[in-house]
Amino acid sequence: MTALAARLDTAIALAAQAGQMALRMRPPPGAAVATLKGAQDWLTEADGAVENFLSDALAAAYPQDGFQGEETGKGRAGALRWVVDPIDGTANYARGATRFCVSLGLLDEATPVLGVIVAPALGETFAARHGKGATLNGTKIQAAATTDLARAQVEVGWSLRRPNADFQSVCNKIQAAGAALRMGGSGALGLADVAAGRIDAYTELHINLWDVAAALCILAEAGAYTSAFMHPAVDTQGAPILACAPALKDPMRQITQIA
Ligand code: LIP
């Protein structure tokens, strides 16, 4: 078995365990049980516990690999680097909702080579290895064949890291093109839905590396178009993102001005 194949098996197993830990720790429905890192930027007890579990388990399995987590930063250096969002969709998770996931990406320098996204409350595992395709619960997935925005469904991610006016401008342009608009609160799951052909595009004016590291590999292996996200400062600064059905690349790039 190749080194990447073995790491994919490990990532799937660890993400499943992390997902069950998150489910056990999930707050009940109601007002958010969490603290605020910033405006509408939530942190729960599970974020830290899940990230510590994954960091320790990956260090034990692959001590030569690097690690970067949303909550603990760039913990270890290595040619291969795990980039982890312990709970993506924290705003949903903190209220007892189901649209959240554990996201594990593996980068070889700046190239995403593995991606695993586990949504435990939805019973879904997305997985991909560079050059070997992408799956949802073991079944091959591919981006949609949609060619017309007037028949498309587009998710737009939101945060207060960019002005609301800019977010609303993008939403207005998408709706003016005839597309249906949605928001979901988890960038990783929105991007995974593009890879699975469930929606036709996902865009966000600013998103962080740990939110997308797994999804970037899954999207590439599912044949989706993805904007150039991996710029030199992306590790700590994040970037805009566009992912979409291949035939919608030009109109979506025109609307979002994200290349
Ligand atoms: C979230 C992202 C989402 C973004 C939110 C937040 P978290 O990640 O998935 O796309 O709009 O502001 O960054 O905080 O739930 O891990």
Query: Which domains are assigned to the chain?
Result: 3-140 (3.30.540.10), 149-256 (3.40.190.80)
The per-residue pLDDT for 202 is 99
Q: What is the pLDDT of residue 78?
A: 85
Give the distance (Å) from ligand 1 centre to CA of residue 144: 24
**pLDDT at res. 97:** 98
d(CA 251, CA 258): 11
Q: What residues pair up with 88 in beta bridges, in sequence order?
A: 101
Tell whether pTM > 0.85.
yes
**Nearest residue CA, atom 13 of ligand 1?**
207
CA 211 to ligand 1 centroid distance, Å: 7
Please tell me the residue having the least CA distance from ligand 1 atom 3.
Answer: 187
pLDDT at site 148: 98
Residue 5: CB atoms within 10 Å: 12
**Residue pLDDT, tens place only, 94-136:** 999 999 999 999 999 999 999 999 999 999 999 999 999 999 9
Low-confidence ranges of the chain (pLDDT < 70): none
DSSP secondary structure letter of residue 244: E
pLDDT at position 234 is 92
Nearest CA-CA partner of 4 in 84, 79, 57: 79
Predicted local distance difference test score (pLDDT) of residue 158 = 97
